């Protein structure tokens, strides 16, 4: 029986240090870690590697239940997969220990999974409200203003070439092509 740790964060700006220290203090012999790095599959692959690695009798150790997934269904699916392999789970910060196969431990796992999802939904909701209030929805800043886009559309209808327009407005030819395509789509 081995204690195998799993640490995960969702963005490059977040840090794994505190999770790794807690897993080390718990006595994990090996720790798998996922740090989202622009590829959505990075954390998923780290979790898959963990599940492939563990054997019957092992204990997977996390700091919190939500490290196992971003939604209740993901967390519960992971727990089911671990259970099928004969692997138990300990969530250090939440006092969950499924090595004790009693109804209370099972109920705690399900309740905490629900609370983790609810917390995530609150975060998403607050983030969306903040974006709506500030008008900042992320993404790239447009290269052309709405006025410039209308000017480009008018000049395109007058037959001015896309290359000349790209030079005039200091943008790439593909930016002018995008304006042209969007104009054509609106006309349809």
The residues assigned a catalytic role are 10
Strands (E), the chain: 3-9, 30-35, 59-62, 88-91, 96-97
Cα–Cα distance for residue pair 72/124, rounded to 1 Å: 15
Q: Tell me how far apart the alpha carbons of residues 93 and 6 are, in angstroms, rounded to a whole number.
A: 13
- Tokens found for residue 179: 């304006």
CA distance 4 to 56: 12
Q: Do the beta carbons of residue 153 and residue 147 sit within 8 Å?
A: no
Pair 50, 80: CB distance under 8 Å = no
Q: 158 phi and psi, to 5 degrees?
A: -80, -5
Give strand pairing partners of 89.
Answer: 60
Q: Could you give phi then psi for residue 116, rounded to 5 degrees?
A: -65, -45
């Amino acid at each position: 029986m081995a204690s195998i740790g799993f640490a995960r964060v969702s963005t490059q700006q977040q840090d794994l240090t505190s999770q790794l220290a807690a897993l080390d203090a718990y006595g994990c012999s090996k720790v798998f870690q996922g740090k989202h790095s622009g590829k959505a599959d990075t954390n998923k692959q780290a979790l898959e590697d963990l599940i492939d690695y563990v054997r019957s009798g092992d204990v997977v150790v996390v700091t919190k239940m939500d490290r196992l997934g971003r939604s209740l269904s993901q967390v519960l699916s992971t727990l089911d997969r671990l259970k099928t392999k004969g692997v138990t789970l300990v969530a250090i910060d939440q006092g969950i220990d499924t090595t004790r196969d009693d109804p209370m431990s099972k109920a705690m796992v399900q309740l905490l999974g629900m609370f983790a999802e609810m917390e995530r939904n609150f975060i998403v909701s607050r983030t969306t409200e903040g974006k709506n209030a500030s008008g900042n929805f992320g993404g790239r800043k447009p290269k052309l203003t709405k006025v410039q886009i209308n000017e480009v559309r008018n000049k395109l209808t007058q037959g001015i070439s896309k290359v000349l327009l790209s030079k005039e407005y200091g943008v790439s030819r593909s930016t002018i092509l995008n304006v042209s395509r969007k104009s054509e789509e609106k006309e349809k």
